[in-house]
Structure 1
Amino acid sequence: MPTKTIKIMVEGGSAKPGPPLGPTLSQLGLNVQEVVKKINDVTAQFKGMSVPVTIEIDSSTKKYDIKVGVPTTTSLLLKAINAQEPSGDPAHKKIGNLDLEQIADIAIKKKPQLSAKTLTAAIKSLLGTARSIGITVEGKDPKDVIKEIDQGKYNDLLTNYEQKWNEAEG
C-alpha cells in the first residue's frame, strides 16, 4: 500500500483548491473539491488561524485521511486577544494583553508540539512569542513576567496548572 503524505498550512475553514494543494491532489487522482471541503470542515473551528494539516493518501485505493494539528503559537495568541496580525513594532505598539492563565491554557494546548519538558518552560517560551508580536501579559512586558516567574510570584498558579499539563498529550 504505497502512501503519499502531504503537509500543508491552511487558514482554518478557508483552504482553497488552487496551488499548491489543488495540483498536488489532482496529480494523485483525488477529487480536489471534495478534499478541500473536508479540510475546511475539519478546520472550521480554527477560523482565522493558520493550522497544520496532514493528508495521508493511499495511492492504490485513492482513500485519504486528514489530520489536523494545533495552530501556530502566534495564531493562538492572536486569537486570544482577538487580533488579526502581530504588531509591526512590538517594542512600541502593543496589540493586546493576556492573563498568565490564558498563556498556561495555550501552553497546554501546544504541549505536543513544544520541546519544553515543564509547564514553566513552555510558558516562558510562549511569553517570548507574545513579546515578539506585541502582546503584554498581566499588563506587563512578558520579559518582566518571566523574571517574576523565576522569583516565584506565580508558583500557586503554576501548581494549579501542573496537573493539566501532566495529563495533556505530548
Structure 2
Amino acid sequence: GEVGVASSLAPKIGPLGLSLKKIREDIAKETTRDWKGLRVTVKLTVQNCQAKVTVVPNVAALVIKSLKEPKHDRKKMKNIKHTRNISSDDVIEITKVMKPRSMEKHLVGTVKDILGMRVSVRCTIDGKDPKDLQSEIDEGEVEIPED
C-alpha cells in the first residue's frame, strides 16, 4: 500500500515522459489490494507511453500471506514474530507460483528452497519444523509431486 521514495523512481521515469504521480498512484492501488503491510517488488512495464504495474511477490511475502495473519503496520511494529501453522498444500501452491522464477530443475528443489524461507519466517508446516521436513524429503519419507 505504500510506495517507496520518489527519488528512486524519478530518474527512471522522467526521461520516458511519464507522470510520477500517476505511476505512484497505480503502484499504491495494485499493492493495497492484496499485499497491504507486506514488502513486495513491483514490475513497471512501459509501452507506447503507457505504464503497466505488476506485483512480483517474493517467497517471504507469499509465506506471510499464506499464514493469514491480521494485517500489520510495518512502521509501527518491528520484528514481527509469525507463530502460525500452514498446510503442506499451501507450500505446494507457493512452490508452483515460484517455480518459473526458481533456478531449480525439479519441484523438490523449489519446495526445499521455500522450506528454507519458512525457517527464517519462523512458522511451522502441518505442525512440523521446516528443517525436519527438509530432512524427511531428503530421506524419501515425504513425497513431493512432480507437477
Q: TM-score range by the shorter chain?
A: 0.7 to 0.9
- Structure 2 distance, partners of 1:94, 1:106, is 17
Amino acid at match of 2:51: D
Q: Deviations over 1:27-85 (max 9, x none)?
A: 54322221222223333333333222232446xx6x03324243011111111112658
Question: Unpaired segments of 5 or more residues in structure 2?
Answer: none
- Structure 2 distance, partners of 1:23, 1:150, is 47
Match of 2:96 in 1: 108
Deviating more after overlay: 127-136 vs 66-75: 66-75
Query: Which structure 2 residues correspond to residues 87-126 of structure 1 after superposition, within 5 A?
Result: 88=79, 95-126=83-114
- Structure 2 distance, partners of 1:19, 1:64, is 21
After TM superposition, give the deviation of residue 24 of structure 1 in Å.
Answer: 4.3
1:78 aligns with 2:67: no
Tell me which protein shows more strand as a share of its residues: 1
Q: TM-score, normalised by structure 1?
A: 0.67
1:14 aligns with 2:2: yes
Paired residue total: 140
Sort the Cα spacing of 1:51 and 1:64 in 2 relative to 1 into closer, same or farther, 3 A.
Answer: farther
Asked whether the equivalents of residues 115 and 134 of structure 2 are also in contact (C-alpha less than 8 Å), the reply is: yes
Asked whether the equivalents of residues 39 and 66 of structure 1 are also in contact (C-alpha less than 8 Å), the reply is: no
- Structure 2 distance, partners of 1:99, 1:134, is 14
After TM superposition, give the deviation of residue 125 of structure 1 in Å.
Answer: 0.6
Q: TM-score, normalised by structure 2?
A: 0.76
Sort the Cα spacing of 1:135 and 1:115 in 2 relative to 1 into closer, same or farther, 3 A.
Answer: same
Q: Percent identity?
A: 28
Match of 1:50 in 2: 39
Q: Which of residues 27, 30, 36 is equivalent to 2:18?
A: 30
RMSD: 2.9
- Structure 1 distance, partners of 2:120, 2:41, is 21
Equivalent position SS for 2:43: strand
Equivalent position SS for 1:20: helix
Question: Unpaired segments of 5 or more residues in structure 1?
Answer: 1-12, 164-170
Asked whether the equivalents of residues 130 and 136 of structure 1 are also in contact (C-alpha less than 8 Å), the reply is: yes
Equivalent position SS for 1:117: coil
Sort the Cα spacing of 1:56 and 1:68 in 2 relative to 1 into closer, same or farther, 3 A.
Answer: closer
